[in-house]
Every structure is written in C-alpha cells, then in structure tokens.
Amino acid sequence: MSGIVYLVGGGPGDPELITLRGVECLRQADVVIYDRLVSQALHSYAPQAEWIDVGKQPDHHPIPQHEINRLLVEKGKEGKVVVRLKGGDPFVFGRGGEEAQALLEAGIPFEVVPGVTSAIAGPAYAGIPVTQRNMACSAAFITGHRAQSGCSPTGDWQRAARGVDTLVFMMGVASLPQIVEQMRLAGRPASTPVALVERATTPLQKVVTGTLENILERAAGVCPPALIVVGDVASLHEELQWFKRDERRPLFGLRVVNTRPRVQRWSGTDEIPGPDEFTMRLYALGAQAISLPSCLITPPLDSAPLDCAIHHLSDPEGLGYNWIIFTSRNAVQFFGDRLFAQGCDARSLSSVRLAAVGPRTAAALRPYGLKADFIPSYAHGKSLAKEMTALSGRVVLVPHAEGSPPLTVPDLLSQGYQVEAVPAYRVCTEIEPPDSLTELIAGEADVVTFFSPAAVRGLTNMLAQQGCDPVRTLNSFTTACVGPTTAQAARTAGLRVDIVAAEQSVEGMCQALAQWVAEKQPALG
C-alpha cells in the first residue's frame, strides 16, 4: 500500500507561522524532507520522524530537483507518511507544483498544505502592507533569479513595473542592479520607495529602505534570503515597523544556544511534541534560539526497582510508603508515566503523601491527577529535608536519576527517615552531536545557556569529541547558568560564568538575559 505525501508550507521563518494543519502533518510523519529555509524549531514537532535535508544553497544545488522527486516517490511507495516541508508556501517559487506532478505520475496520493509565504509575511514583519488603499491596489511576486524566469526576465520585470503597484522580488539580491535598472527603464520614478527585508520574520531580520535612486548603495550589505519590495507601500516601513528590539522584545537579535536536554520518555505517553518551553520564550522575546540539546533523558537501563516500588504502592499487605519525594520534573514524569504504564493511576497513591522540591516540580504532578502535599519554602533539596522534620511518617520513596541519588537522601537518612531511592530515569551526557554544534564551533552564537550540570558535561564532551578545546570554545561566548549549582559545575569545568539567573526557571533565565542585554546595549548595536 502506498503512503501519502503532504506538501507542507513551513512558513517564512518565525516558527509560530506554520499552520495547524502543517503541525498535524508533522506529528504524523514518518519522514520529513526539508529545505534550507525551514525553521529549525519545527523539528521538535516530529521527533519521531526521519529528517532528510535536501536544502539548496544559492548557486549550489546539493540535491537536484529530479532526485528530490524520486525520493518523494520512493518514500511514498514504501507506504510512509511523508512531509515535504518547504519554506513559506509550497506553491510560491517552491517547485511544489513539479513535485505534485511527479507524485501524480507515480500514482502516489498527495495533499497540499499551504503556508504563509515570505512574499507577504516578510513585508508585513517590516511594517509594509503589500496593498494599501489609495497607495497600492495590486501586488505581484516576481522571481529575481534570472535563470529561473522565462527567456526574457528583464522584459517580465518591465511589464510588471508598468502594470502592478507593489512588486515583491524573491531570490533577487544578486540581481538588484538589474532590477533597479529595469524599473527605471519601465518609467518608475527615481523617487519610488524600495525596501529590502533580509531574514524576514526571524530575530535576525534586517530592513534597509531607500529609493530606486539610492538603494544600491544602501543595500550593499544585504545577503540572501531577502525580499525586495518596490512601490509606494515600502515607505510605510518607517511608520509601521513593529518587529524590532523594544520593551516587548528585549532580546531582539540575540542568538542564544539552548542546551536543554532532549527527553525520550517511555512510549505510550500522550505528550504532544513541540518546541521546548525555553525555545518558545526566546522567540517571543525576540531572540534566535539555537537548539543544541547536550544531554538525553531516557528511562533507566533497569526499571525493575521502580516497578517494584510501584507494585508496593498498591500492595494491601505492604508496609507502604508515607511519602514520595520528587526532586525534579523528570522524576515526576518518569515515575508518573511508569505508574500508568503498569496499569495503575493516581488511586494507587491514595494513602501516600507527596512532596515536591519546588512549585514547578509540583506543577508537573497535575497532569497525573496529583497534588503536592508539601513544598519547602525554598526550592532546594536541603530545605526540603530540613523542613520535612516536622512531618509525620518515616518511610520515604525517592525516585531519582540513575547513578545520582539526590542530595536530600543523606539528609533524610540522618534525620531518621527510612529512605528507598529508586532510579526512575537516566541522564546520558555522551550523545551524538546535533547539527547545530557546527554553528557553535563556527562562532555563530552570542550566549550559551545551561540549565543543569549534566548539560555542561554533555556540551564539553561533545566539543572535545570534535577535537575542539571546550574551555576555549565556550569562553568565547557569554555563558549563562540557571542557578548556583549549574554555575559551580560550569566553573569546575573551567568556564567563565557571565550570568547566573536570580530565579531558577526558564523565566528567571530570560530575565537575567534581558538584564544583561540592557547593560550591554551599545555592544549589541
């Protein structure tokens, strides 16, 4: 039985500009065949899928179109759910039409999921409406790539210049001189407003404006991908620009490496995949998130002790536990998933009380229908052990990371508790480096963030494996740690710690970054 190919528009760059239908297709995908312009954050919607990069660099086509068509047909014939993910809209200079024809010919079913095209979204993020009453009542999308146009592109450009108000050129940066020349030959005045929007809708967006007269000098530094908008509407940028650094986007343009781990929970959890919370917060604040997971959280190698503890919970003869102490969200989630996977649910915990190290760990209990009975006044294992002395019941279960029982355990033991510590998950710091490591090594980042000592270890391991000096490499960036324990681990590894968040959370990290940017404002330009 043949599969199906979805030709999906991934949107112009901002990861939130993909459609609901696009996300749904990604969640069902076995294979995702994607292009260069697709936002990296979209990968997290399909962690289960095989991702194949067929990206084309300008003037350099690593995989020719007929090969891409062949790959789509081949994967479809294997019965796979294939997502062909393209930047913007698949049918706007995306060669989606040709791919649909190849699929039709091979008898593979396909569907098209339109996307938000950069031709409209790019100008919109620069404050330029492509039509505007009394200013522009028609707009055209035009390829600036001379080889891709018909036989006489310059003739096409002149025709468009005479007949259409707003012209949006795509793939046109290298042809800007010719475009300007043809506009003038077609009779557009030298004062016609022009705007170039580079990396539109991303935190690295740059806008250059001018007129047909002076745009060539002004746009000298603009690199692809960029849009060229010619027409009166381009002048509205000054007035309507909204996507920029301001109090709502204090991190605009900052490239932040997110080393938070990838989590591979037991299959059977109904968690919906999507970008991690920190990535989405960074985008919302205007930063470019570079996802570089530096450790991997998985179920423990041996889940027998955990299963045994879970069995013990519902054993009417058993002594039972008085308390279960959760010192991390991972502990809650891996314990909770396993509980359900074993056919139990919250009722098995009816006679046990639950302690959580802090409010975020406590919040992780909610999806399992559970509530923390005790949270210490300060989110730290030491406070938990100290403040628990006042509580009744001495038999305590502590689910934890394999190989590293939390610091609370000796404290609890010394206070006379009977503690059973069971591994509920595993933190691997020896992992395959993600593609984004190359970006880091090339220096394409501003800040590297750490949320755990394991992430510090994982990233230094990865760099060493690539033959880099981890300390030299990481010290060439600003480093930010979520709290004192992580900062200590980073210093022990030889790193210079520049930022330590006052509050140990995603929000605390974002606030610390914003404060740092405010102090460094001139340096960031």
User: Toward ligand SAH, which CB reaches closer, 227 or 254?
Assistant: 227
Cβ 119 to ligand SAH, closest distance in Å? 6
Window 30-59: contact mask with ligand SAH (x via CB under 6 A): -------x----------------------
**Residue nearest to ligand SAH as judged by C-beta position:** 88
Contact set for ligand SAH, span 144-203 (CB under 6 A):
170-171, 197, 199-202
Q: How far is the CB of 205 from ligand SAH (least distance, A)?
A: 7
Helix (H, G, I), strand (E, B) or coil at 15: helix
Secondary structure in 3-state letters for 69-86: HHHHHHHHHCCCEEEEEE
Q: Whole-number minimum distance, CB 156 to ligand SAH, in Å?
A: 16
In the list 34, 45, 93, 323, the residue contacting ligand SAH (rule: CB under 6 A) is 93
Q: Is 224 helix (H, G, I), strand (E, B) or coil?
A: coil
Structure tokens at 309: 């503890």
Q: Does 88 bind ligand SAH (CB under 6 A)?
A: yes
Closest distance of CB 78 from ligand SAH, Å: 27
DSSP letter for 466, please: T
Q: Return the range that interacts with ligand SAH (CB under 6 A); candidates 26-34, 113-121, 335-343, 397-405.
A: 113-121
Of 14, 30, 35, 165, the catalytic one is 35
| Closer residue to ligand SAH in complex, CB, 202/478 | 202
Stretch that binds ligand SAH, among 112-120, 157-165, 211-219, 435-443 (CB under 6 A): 112-120
For the CB of residue 45, give the shortest distance to ligand SAH in the complex, in Å. Answer: 19
Closer by beta carbon to ligand SAH, 254 or else 297: 254
- Distance between CA atoms of 108 and 3, rounded to whole angstroms? 7
Element (H, E) at 290: strand 288-291
User: Is 89 or 337 the residue whose CB approaches ligand SAH more closely?
Assistant: 89
How many residues in the shown chain lie near ligand SAH by CB under 6 A?
Answer: 25
By the 8 A CB rule, do 126 and 22 touch? no
Q: How far is the CB of 36 from ligand SAH (least distance, A)?
A: 9
Interface with ligand SAH (CB under 6 A), residue from 6, 12, 276, 381: 12
Instruction: Figure out which of the listed residues 8, 29, 208, 227 binds ligand SAH, where binding follows CB under 6 A.
Output: 227
- Closer residue to ligand SAH in complex, CB, 9/406: 9
SS (H, E, C) 99-145: HHHHHHHHCCCEEEECCCCHHHHHHHHCCCCCCECCCECCEEEEECC
Question: What residue type is assigned to position 403 of the chain?
Answer: G
| Residue 498 near residue 480 (C-beta atoms within 8 A) | yes
Q: Give the residue with the Cβ less far from ligand SAH, 224 or 274.
A: 224
Q: Is position 399 an interface residue for ligand SAH (rule: CB under 6 A)?
A: no
Q: Cα–Cα distance between 356 and 51 in angstroms, integer?
A: 38
Task: In angstroms, give the least distance from the CB of 208 to ligand SAH.
Answer: 12
Q: Which of 56, 206, 244, 386 is catalytic?
A: 56
Binding to ligand SAH in span 67-86, by CB under 6 A: 86
Whether the CB-CB separation of 186 and 161 falls below 8 Å is answered with yes
| Cβ proximity of 197 and 236 under 8 Å | no
Among 40, 44, 69, 117, indicate the residue that binds ligand SAH (CB under 6 A): 117
**Cβ neighbours, 10 Å, residue 181:** 16
Shortest spacing between CB 89 and ligand SAH, in angstroms:
4
Pair 483, 502: CB distance under 8 Å: no
For residue 314, the SS3 value is coil
- The piece of 73-81, 219-227, 346-354, 427-435 that touches ligand SAH (CB under 6 A) is 219-227
Residue recorded with tokens 């009779």: 187
Interatomic CA distance for residues 388 and 418, integer angstroms: 13
What the block records as the tokens of 64 is 């020719």
Q: Which stretch binds ligand SAH (CB under 6 A): 221-229, 321-329, 349-357, 401-409?
A: 221-229
Q: Which residue has the tokens 């009542």?
A: 137
Cβ atoms of 2 and 76 closer than 8 Å? yes
The number of CA neighbours under 13 Å toward the Cβ of 467 is 0
Q: Smallest Cα–Cα separation from 376: which of 365, 367, 364, 389?
A: 389
CB-nearer residue toward ligand SAH: 88 or 336: 88
Q: Quick check: helix, strand or coil at residue 36? A: coil
H-type alpha helices, 171-214:
176-185
Does residue 91 contact residue 111 with C-beta atoms inside 8 Å?
no
Q: Which is nearer to ligand SAH, 94 or 434 (CB)?
A: 94
In the bound state with ligand SAH, the residue whose beta carbon lies nearer, of 10 and 406, is 10
Does 122 bind ligand SAH (CB under 6 A)? Our answer is: yes
Is 56 catalytic? The answer is yes
State the catalytic residues.
Answer: 35, 56
Contact set with ligand SAH (CB under 6 A): 12-13, 37, 86-89, 92-94, 117-119, 122, 170-171, 197, 199-202, 224-227
